[in-house]
Amino acid sequence: MAKRKTSAAPAKRAAAPAKTAAAPAKRAAFDWVEGNLARLSRWNQIVWNHAESAWREYKSARHYVELLRREGFEVEEGSAGMPTAFVATWTSGGRAGRREGGPVLASYAEYDAIPGTSQKAAPYQAPRAGVSRWAPGHTDPHSALGIGALGGVLAAKAAMERFAIPGTLKLFGEPAEKMCGSKNLHALYGYYDDLDAAISFHPTYIPELNNTVVKDTHGGSYWSRVYTFECTAAESWNSAGALASPAHAHATATARAPGAVDAVCLMHTTTKYFRESMLPFTGSWCLNEAILVAGQATADNLPAHIGQIQFASRAATLEMQERIWNVIERNAREVAKLTHCRVQGTWIAKTRPGLPNHAMADLVYRNLALAGPPAVGEEARAFGREIQKTLGVKPMRDPFLADLTELCPPEEAERRVRKLTPEWQTHYAVDDYVEYTWHCPTARLYVSRPVMRPARAGQRYPDWTFNALGGVPACIDPMIRTAARAIGASLVELALDARALGAAKAEFKRRTGGGIGGKTWLAPLLPKGTKAPIDFRWPEYVTTARGEDWWIPDRGRGGIRPRART
């Protein structure tokens, strides 16, 4: 395969936009963002502090639902059977939910946080006040991702109202993104089928993608499955050799089945052993696991009745995924036999690799250029210098990476990403936004956020620094502002410029062999009828007679003591 040829250099400032019929409406969208920056900042702080993890984002979802209803949207809660998902719809010139002419345009909010990353908005390592250190925190941060998209949709709505632009806006609430959990369910149940175009926004996570839009190398696929092992007939294990009376069979080791904990341990180790037989170690694929349940921990002389282990694979192609999961499925069956258990597998996610759309990428990038890259001020830089002091790094005048405030054209971003991947590989990293790409023309927008500047080659800052920066308004609000402006202007252009939208839709039809259901279109991969996996023992906040706490208590009893602040 020939290498893609790109030669564009990064732009350091936004180019002057051409005057079009959409210009006044875009200016109205920008005006809305500028007039509502304080509200956007406040909304982000609310979600950032809720810090709820996958499938358990109750307060965060409620925040969005109530806010969107106040803003005039009709909201379907619990979409696709997911309690913390929603679909908010607004139609220009008519009742929301009924198309009155004009395109149907979408973006989405994410709001799940990651367990074990609780961090207060401080220049030193510490969990949020009153919260366990094992509780979640926003790392990407999804709090700002969602508010940036929300700001863009509300900005477009304001412009469409002012200029009587026909069209429908949708904002999807997408929970459990860290498990790629919701979008493949929304896709499976047809929620994206009426969309004319969608914009996916994410805070930049690698320097190669600062302030840009993806051209060709979209996200790969993510498959995840939970295996539940149950030992429900322990008495039938080697019972002929039991020496105890029938009333006390569990007191004799020979009567005890290995049980579900042994099943989980064997499933973990055998799958690790067979990793080399799954795929060659190339192409940035990976396989990870998490133990959800390992026995009940209530009696030491009984076999564990239940154990659950989750596997998740990231791969560039569906063929790679099939090879990985053929091994995992075989392991599960054999482990169940060895441990006297029965096993059931439940799909959590099964996403498709992303589909490019150059017309959409170009449209959104020109609006990102019009919006301008984020620019942090002295308050943010002062916070960064405090982080450096905490870590014993000599404070810098500008403690953040320089190219965070520069634009990077899609062709240049593509060239940079291609340097990170083998020549044959067409997809990089994973994110479930790819599900949108198979139902309508979709653009993947990246906007930078502050990242600490290394003091020397090879220096790496602790992860808590990224999490802390996401909770400081002076640091994260500029990213939200740029994202909202770029998304708002792009939605306005799509609503007004039938030719631009038509080009994106024609390209989508070409790439899928005729659109949804076309010859080269990939249908959703989850089995029909798949239900939201909400009933597993996902980490969550709990309320008991002892009060509200994270499900793993942290009251200073046992475990490794947190490091004192230096």
Q: Residue 44 corresponds to which tokens in the numbers above?
A: 């982000």
> Residue 370 is which amino acid?
L
Q: Residue 552 corresponds to which tokens in the numbers above?
A: 């793993």
C-alpha atoms less than 13 angstroms from C-alpha of 190 in its C-beta half-sphere: 4
Q: What is the pLDDT of residues 319-378, one digit of tens each?
A: 999 999 999 999 999 999 999 999 999 999 999 999 999 999 999 999 999 999 999 999
Task: Spell out the residues 6+ positions from residue 397 whose beta carbon is closer than 8 angstroms to its own.
Answer: 381
Q: Are residues 111 and 178 in the same domain?
A: yes
In a domain, 241, yes or no: yes
How would you class 453 by CB atoms within 10 Å of its CB: exposed for 0-12, middle for 13-18, buried for 19 or more?
A: middle
Adjacent-strand bridge partners of 76: 87
In a domain, 529, yes or no: no
Task: Spell out the residues 6+ positions from residue 565 whose beta carbon is closer than 8 angstroms to its own.
Answer: 124, 125, 126, 390
In a domain, 18, yes or no: no
Q: Are residues 346 and 364 in the same domain?
A: no
Q: Are residues 251 and 309 in the same domain?
A: yes
Q: Are residues 89 and 198 in the same domain?
A: yes
Task: Measure the CA dihedral 16/21/24/28, to 10°.
Answer: -100
**What's residue 555's pLDDT?**
63
Q: What is the pLDDT of residues 75-88, one digit of tens each?
A: 999 999 999 999 99
How far apart are the two ends of the chain, measured CA to CA in Å? Answer: 53
Which domain-ending residue is among 326, 350, 374?
A: 350
- Whichever domain contains 125, its CATH number is 3.40.630.10
Helices (H), 472-561: 473-496, 498-512
In a domain, 527, yes or no: no
Q: Are residues 360 and 211 in the same domain?
A: yes
Rounded mean pLDDT, 395-415: 95
In a domain, 102, yes or no: yes
In a domain, 518, yes or no: no
Q: Are residues 58 and 188 in the same domain?
A: yes
Beta strands in 267-305 (DSSP E): 286-294
Question: How many Å apart are CA 437 and CA 356, to the nearest integer?
Answer: 7
- DSSP label of 247: G
Q: Are residues 206 and 260 in the same domain?
A: no
- Cα-flanking dihedrals φ and ψ of residue 168, to 5°? -125, 135
Closest CA to 408 of 148, 140, 215: 215
Rounded mean pLDDT, 48-72: 98
Q: Residue 181 corresponds to which tokens in the numbers above?
A: 């959990």
Q: Are residues 158 and 145 in the same domain?
A: yes
- Cα-flanking dihedrals φ and ψ of residue 451, to 5°? -130, 135
Rounded mean pLDDT, 275-294: 88
Q: How far is CA 79 from each of CA 85, 87, 329, 359, rounded to the nearest angstrom?
A: 6, 7, 30, 30
User: Among positive and negative, which fits the CA dihedral 411, 413, 416, 420?
Assistant: negative
Pick the residue with more confidence: 303 or 551? 551
Domain count, the chain: 2
Q: What is the pLDDT of residues 202-256, one digit of tens each?
A: 999 898 999 999 999 999 999 999 999 999 888 888 754 444 555 555 555 445 7
Which domain-ending residue is among 330, 350, 370?
A: 350
Residue pair 472/450 in contact by the 8 Å Cβ criterion: no
Domain span holding position 249: 222-350
In a domain, 386, yes or no: yes
Which domain-ending residue is among 512, 527, 557?
A: 512
Q: Are residues 100 and 158 in the same domain?
A: yes
Question: How many Å apart are CA 131 and CA 422, to the nearest integer?
Answer: 43
Q: Are residues 124 and 237 in the same domain?
A: no
Q: Are residues 43 and 190 in the same domain?
A: yes
- Whichever domain contains 261, its CATH number is 3.30.70.360
Q: Which pTM does this prediction carry? A: 0.92
> Residue 512 is which amino acid?
T
Q: Are residues 169 and 199 in the same domain?
A: yes
In a domain, 40, yes or no: yes
